[in-house]
Structure 1
Amino acid sequence: MADTYSQIYLQFVFTVKNRESLIPRENKEELHKYISGLVRNRKAKMLAIHCMPDHVHLFVGFRPVLSISDFIKELKVESNEFVNAQKWTKQKFAWQEGYGVFSYSHSHINSVIQYILNQEEHHRKRTFREEYHDFLKKFEVPFEDKHLFEFFE
Protein backbone atom coordinates (compact mmCIF):
# COMPACT_ATOMS: atom_id res chain seq x y z
CA MET A 1 0.00 0.00 0.00
CA ALA A 2 1.38 3.42 -0.94
CA ASP A 3 1.94 6.11 1.66
CA THR A 4 0.50 9.61 1.48
CA TYR A 5 3.01 12.44 1.21
CA SER A 6 2.11 16.06 1.73
CA GLN A 7 3.55 19.47 2.36
CA ILE A 8 0.95 21.74 3.95
CA TYR A 9 1.91 24.76 6.03
CA LEU A 10 -0.85 26.75 7.70
CA GLN A 11 -0.82 29.86 9.86
CA PHE A 12 -3.78 30.15 12.23
CA VAL A 13 -4.81 33.41 13.87
CA PHE A 14 -7.49 33.64 16.54
CA THR A 15 -8.40 36.04 19.31
CA VAL A 16 -9.52 36.21 22.90
CA LYS A 17 -13.27 36.83 23.17
CA ASN A 18 -14.08 40.53 22.82
CA ARG A 19 -10.38 41.05 22.01
CA GLU A 20 -9.67 41.49 25.70
CA SER A 21 -6.04 41.33 26.81
CA LEU A 22 -6.43 38.25 29.01
CA ILE A 23 -3.34 36.20 28.23
CA PRO A 24 -0.92 37.18 31.00
CA ARG A 25 2.60 37.86 29.73
CA GLU A 26 4.06 35.80 32.57
CA ASN A 27 1.99 32.75 31.51
CA LYS A 28 2.36 32.89 27.74
CA GLU A 29 5.26 30.40 27.61
CA GLU A 30 3.19 27.88 29.54
CA LEU A 31 0.31 28.42 27.11
CA HIS A 32 2.72 28.03 24.18
CA LYS A 33 3.81 24.66 25.57
CA TYR A 34 0.26 23.53 26.22
CA ILE A 35 -1.00 24.44 22.74
CA SER A 36 2.13 22.92 21.17
CA GLY A 37 1.28 19.67 22.97
CA LEU A 38 -2.27 19.80 21.60
CA VAL A 39 -0.85 20.22 18.09
CA ARG A 40 1.56 17.29 18.55
CA ASN A 41 -1.25 15.10 19.92
CA ARG A 42 -3.03 15.61 16.60
CA LYS A 43 0.09 14.48 14.71
CA ALA A 44 0.71 17.94 13.31
CA LYS A 45 4.01 19.82 13.66
CA MET A 46 4.23 23.11 15.52
CA LEU A 47 6.61 25.37 13.60
CA ALA A 48 5.98 28.59 15.55
CA ILE A 49 3.61 29.97 18.14
CA HIS A 50 3.21 33.36 19.75
CA CYS A 51 0.51 34.39 22.17
CA MET A 52 -0.08 38.10 22.44
CA PRO A 53 -2.32 39.28 25.31
CA ASP A 54 -5.35 39.32 22.98
CA HIS A 55 -4.59 36.97 20.08
CA VAL A 56 -2.54 33.97 18.97
CA HIS A 57 -0.53 33.04 15.87
CA LEU A 58 0.24 29.38 15.18
CA PHE A 59 2.27 28.08 12.24
CA VAL A 60 1.73 24.37 11.73
CA GLY A 61 2.91 21.61 9.42
CA PHE A 62 -0.48 20.10 8.70
CA ARG A 63 -1.55 16.59 7.71
CA PRO A 64 -4.17 16.06 4.97
CA VAL A 65 -6.13 13.60 7.15
CA LEU A 66 -6.98 16.42 9.56
CA SER A 67 -9.99 18.68 9.20
CA ILE A 68 -8.96 22.32 9.56
CA SER A 69 -12.19 23.29 11.32
CA ASP A 70 -12.08 20.34 13.73
CA PHE A 71 -8.39 20.93 14.44
CA ILE A 72 -8.79 24.58 15.40
CA LYS A 73 -12.05 23.97 17.27
CA GLU A 74 -10.39 21.28 19.42
CA LEU A 75 -7.33 23.46 20.07
CA LYS A 76 -9.48 26.39 21.13
CA VAL A 77 -11.78 24.31 23.36
CA GLU A 78 -8.96 22.46 25.11
CA SER A 79 -6.71 25.52 25.55
CA ASN A 80 -9.70 27.52 26.80
CA GLU A 81 -10.34 24.86 29.44
CA PHE A 82 -6.64 24.90 30.36
CA VAL A 83 -6.53 28.68 30.87
CA ASN A 84 -9.68 28.58 33.01
CA ALA A 85 -8.32 25.69 35.09
CA GLN A 86 -5.14 27.71 35.73
CA LYS A 87 -7.24 30.67 36.95
CA TRP A 88 -5.00 33.15 35.15
CA THR A 89 -7.87 35.61 34.76
CA LYS A 90 -10.46 36.98 37.18
CA GLN A 91 -13.28 36.45 34.70
CA LYS A 92 -14.03 33.39 32.60
CA PHE A 93 -11.58 33.08 29.71
CA ALA A 94 -12.83 32.25 26.21
CA TRP A 95 -11.64 32.45 22.63
CA GLN A 96 -13.74 34.43 20.19
CA GLU A 97 -15.58 32.52 17.50
CA GLY A 98 -13.90 32.34 14.13
CA TYR A 99 -10.29 32.28 13.05
CA GLY A 100 -8.04 33.05 10.14
CA VAL A 101 -6.07 30.35 8.36
CA PHE A 102 -3.51 31.10 5.66
CA SER A 103 -1.39 28.69 3.63
CA TYR A 104 2.26 29.07 2.70
CA SER A 105 4.76 27.33 0.46
CA HIS A 106 7.88 25.61 1.76
CA SER A 107 10.01 28.56 0.64
CA HIS A 108 8.16 30.85 3.09
CA ILE A 109 8.68 28.75 6.24
CA ASN A 110 11.57 30.75 7.70
CA SER A 111 10.00 34.15 7.04
CA VAL A 112 6.66 33.12 8.55
CA ILE A 113 8.39 31.68 11.62
CA GLN A 114 10.35 34.92 12.09
CA TYR A 115 7.19 36.97 11.60
CA ILE A 116 5.34 35.02 14.29
CA LEU A 117 8.23 35.03 16.74
CA ASN A 118 8.56 38.81 16.35
CA GLN A 119 4.93 39.66 17.16
CA GLU A 120 5.87 41.97 20.02
CA GLU A 121 7.88 44.13 17.62
CA HIS A 122 5.21 44.10 14.89
CA HIS A 123 2.55 45.32 17.29
CA ARG A 124 4.62 48.29 18.36
CA LYS A 125 4.03 49.58 14.82
CA ARG A 126 0.65 48.13 13.80
CA THR A 127 -2.55 47.18 15.55
CA PHE A 128 -3.97 43.69 15.34
CA ARG A 129 -6.81 45.07 13.21
CA GLU A 130 -4.30 46.45 10.68
CA GLU A 131 -2.34 43.21 10.72
CA TYR A 132 -5.44 41.07 10.17
CA HIS A 133 -6.76 43.29 7.37
CA ASP A 134 -3.35 43.03 5.70
CA PHE A 135 -3.52 39.22 5.84
CA LEU A 136 -6.97 39.17 4.26
CA LYS A 137 -5.93 41.57 1.51
CA LYS A 138 -2.60 39.81 0.85
CA PHE A 139 -4.34 36.44 0.49
CA GLU A 140 -7.21 38.02 -1.47
CA VAL A 141 -9.83 36.79 0.98
CA PRO A 142 -13.12 38.64 0.50
CA PHE A 143 -14.47 40.00 3.78
CA GLU A 144 -16.83 42.46 5.39
CA ASP A 145 -15.68 44.32 8.48
CA LYS A 146 -18.93 43.52 10.30
CA HIS A 147 -18.15 39.78 10.04
CA LEU A 148 -14.58 40.00 11.35
CA PHE A 149 -13.47 39.61 14.94
CA GLU A 150 -14.99 42.09 17.35
CA PHE A 151 -12.46 44.90 17.48
CA PHE A 152 -12.22 47.18 20.48
CA GLU A 153 -9.40 49.65 20.01
Structure 2
Amino acid sequence: MYLIVFTPKYRRKQIYNQLRADIQQNIRDLCKWKGVEIIERHMMPDHIHLLLSIPPKMSISSFMGYLKGKSSLMIFDRHANLKYKYGNRHFWARGYYVDTVGRNKKQIQEYIKKQLEEDQLADQMSLKEYTDPFTGSKNTKA
Protein backbone atom coordinates (compact mmCIF):
# COMPACT_ATOMS: atom_id res chain seq x y z
CA MET A 1 0.00 0.00 0.00
CA TYR A 2 1.11 3.50 -0.79
CA LEU A 3 0.26 6.97 0.45
CA ILE A 4 0.29 9.34 -2.51
CA VAL A 5 -0.08 13.13 -2.41
CA PHE A 6 -0.24 15.32 -5.51
CA THR A 7 -1.40 18.85 -6.35
CA PRO A 8 -3.14 20.73 -9.16
CA LYS A 9 -0.87 23.07 -11.13
CA TYR A 10 -3.23 26.00 -10.75
CA ARG A 11 -4.11 26.35 -7.10
CA ARG A 12 -7.14 28.48 -7.65
CA LYS A 13 -9.72 27.45 -5.10
CA GLN A 14 -12.74 28.47 -7.19
CA ILE A 15 -11.64 26.32 -10.16
CA TYR A 16 -10.77 23.36 -7.97
CA ASN A 17 -14.10 23.50 -6.11
CA GLN A 18 -16.02 23.55 -9.40
CA LEU A 19 -14.13 20.49 -10.67
CA ARG A 20 -14.05 18.56 -7.40
CA ALA A 21 -16.80 16.05 -8.24
CA ASP A 22 -15.40 15.45 -11.73
CA ILE A 23 -11.88 14.90 -10.38
CA GLN A 24 -13.14 12.41 -7.79
CA GLN A 25 -15.08 10.45 -10.40
CA ASN A 26 -12.13 10.47 -12.83
CA ILE A 27 -9.75 9.13 -10.17
CA ARG A 28 -12.24 6.42 -9.17
CA ASP A 29 -12.74 5.34 -12.79
CA LEU A 30 -9.03 5.33 -13.65
CA CYS A 31 -8.12 3.31 -10.55
CA LYS A 32 -10.88 0.81 -11.26
CA TRP A 33 -9.72 0.38 -14.88
CA LYS A 34 -6.16 -0.41 -13.74
CA GLY A 35 -7.19 -2.68 -10.85
CA VAL A 36 -5.96 -0.29 -8.16
CA GLU A 37 -7.90 -0.32 -4.89
CA ILE A 38 -8.62 3.03 -3.23
CA ILE A 39 -8.49 2.44 0.51
CA GLU A 40 -8.84 6.05 1.61
CA ARG A 41 -8.94 9.40 -0.18
CA HIS A 42 -9.44 13.06 0.61
CA MET A 43 -9.35 16.15 -1.56
CA MET A 44 -8.00 19.30 0.01
CA PRO A 45 -8.28 22.70 -1.76
CA ASP A 46 -4.62 22.51 -2.78
CA HIS A 47 -3.75 18.78 -2.86
CA ILE A 48 -5.12 15.23 -2.85
CA HIS A 49 -4.36 12.39 -0.42
CA LEU A 50 -4.77 8.83 -1.70
CA LEU A 51 -4.12 5.58 0.14
CA LEU A 52 -3.91 3.00 -2.64
CA SER A 53 -3.22 -0.67 -3.04
CA ILE A 54 -1.35 -0.95 -6.34
CA PRO A 55 -0.80 -4.42 -7.87
CA PRO A 56 2.85 -5.56 -7.65
CA LYS A 57 3.11 -5.91 -11.44
CA MET A 58 2.62 -2.15 -11.83
CA SER A 59 5.25 0.46 -11.01
CA ILE A 60 4.19 3.50 -9.02
CA SER A 61 5.70 5.95 -11.49
CA SER A 62 3.88 4.42 -14.46
CA PHE A 63 0.59 4.42 -12.56
CA MET A 64 1.01 8.05 -11.48
CA GLY A 65 1.87 9.04 -15.06
CA TYR A 66 -1.28 7.28 -16.20
CA LEU A 67 -3.44 8.76 -13.42
CA LYS A 68 -2.29 12.34 -13.80
CA GLY A 69 -2.13 12.23 -17.60
CA LYS A 70 -5.50 10.62 -18.26
CA SER A 71 -7.31 12.59 -15.55
CA SER A 72 -6.03 15.90 -16.93
CA LEU A 73 -7.17 14.91 -20.44
CA MET A 74 -10.58 13.96 -19.04
CA ILE A 75 -10.86 17.27 -17.17
CA PHE A 76 -9.90 19.35 -20.20
CA ASP A 77 -12.28 17.37 -22.43
CA ARG A 78 -15.20 17.89 -20.07
CA HIS A 79 -14.32 21.53 -19.29
CA ALA A 80 -13.08 22.87 -22.64
CA ASN A 81 -12.85 26.46 -21.41
CA LEU A 82 -9.90 25.55 -19.14
CA LYS A 83 -7.58 24.57 -22.00
CA TYR A 84 -7.97 28.01 -23.56
CA LYS A 85 -7.54 29.73 -20.23
CA TYR A 86 -4.50 27.75 -19.03
CA GLY A 87 -3.32 25.93 -22.17
CA ASN A 88 -1.03 22.93 -22.68
CA ARG A 89 -3.43 20.48 -20.97
CA HIS A 90 -1.26 20.43 -17.85
CA PHE A 91 -3.70 20.32 -14.95
CA TRP A 92 -1.44 18.71 -12.31
CA ALA A 93 1.79 20.14 -10.94
CA ARG A 94 5.01 18.26 -11.63
CA GLY A 95 5.88 15.60 -9.10
CA TYR A 96 4.09 13.82 -6.31
CA TYR A 97 4.85 12.35 -2.89
CA VAL A 98 4.78 8.59 -2.30
CA ASP A 99 5.39 6.63 0.88
CA THR A 100 4.95 2.93 1.53
CA VAL A 101 2.46 1.97 4.20
CA GLY A 102 3.05 -1.01 6.44
CA ARG A 103 2.21 -1.36 10.09
CA ASN A 104 1.04 2.25 10.35
CA LYS A 105 -1.88 1.78 7.91
CA LYS A 106 -4.55 2.59 10.52
CA GLN A 107 -2.84 5.82 11.59
CA ILE A 108 -2.58 6.99 7.99
CA GLN A 109 -6.23 6.11 7.33
CA GLU A 110 -7.25 8.14 10.39
CA TYR A 111 -5.02 11.03 9.30
CA ILE A 112 -6.66 11.15 5.87
CA LYS A 113 -10.16 10.86 7.36
CA LYS A 114 -9.52 13.72 9.78
CA GLN A 115 -8.22 16.04 7.06
CA LEU A 116 -11.79 17.21 6.37
CA GLU A 117 -12.35 18.17 10.00
CA GLU A 118 -9.00 19.95 10.21
CA ASP A 119 -9.70 21.76 6.95
CA GLN A 120 -13.08 22.97 8.23
CA LEU A 121 -11.54 24.14 11.50
CA ALA A 122 -8.83 26.03 9.62
CA ASP A 123 -11.49 27.75 7.49
CA GLN A 124 -13.37 28.84 10.62
CA MET A 125 -10.33 30.44 12.21
CA SER A 126 -10.08 34.15 11.65
CA LEU A 127 -7.37 36.71 12.26
CA LYS A 128 -9.91 39.49 12.70
CA GLU A 129 -10.56 40.76 16.19
CA TYR A 130 -14.17 41.74 16.59
CA THR A 131 -13.59 43.33 19.98
CA ASP A 132 -10.69 45.58 20.82
CA PRO A 133 -8.49 43.62 23.25
CA PHE A 134 -7.42 46.83 25.04
CA THR A 135 -10.73 48.63 25.53
CA GLY A 136 -13.25 45.78 25.20
CA SER A 137 -15.34 47.86 22.81
CA LYS A 138 -16.58 46.68 19.42
CA ASN A 139 -13.83 46.95 16.78
CA THR A 140 -15.16 48.84 13.75
CA LYS A 141 -12.07 48.17 11.61
CA ALA A 142 -12.56 44.37 11.51
1:21-44 alpha-carbon deviations (Å, 9 max, x no partner):
3321x5424422220221121111
* RMSD (Å) for aligned C-alpha atoms: 2.5
1:1-153 map, 5 Å: 9-21=1-13, 22-24=15-17, 27-87=19-79, 90=82, 91-92=85-86, 94-105=91-102, 107-123=103-119, 124-125=121-122
Distance 1:118 1:20 in 2: 23
Q: Between the two proteins, what is the percent identity of the paired residues?
A: 26
Match of 2:58, as an amino acid? L
Q: Which has the larger radius of gyration?
A: 2
- TM-score where L is the length of structure 1: 0.64
Q: Which runs of 5+ in 2 are unaligned?
A: 123-142
- Paired residue total: 116
Q: Which residue of 2 aligns with 1:130?
A: none
- CA shift at 1:88, angstroms? 8.5
Instruction: Verify the 8 A CA contact 1:32 1:50 in the aligned structure 2.
Output: no
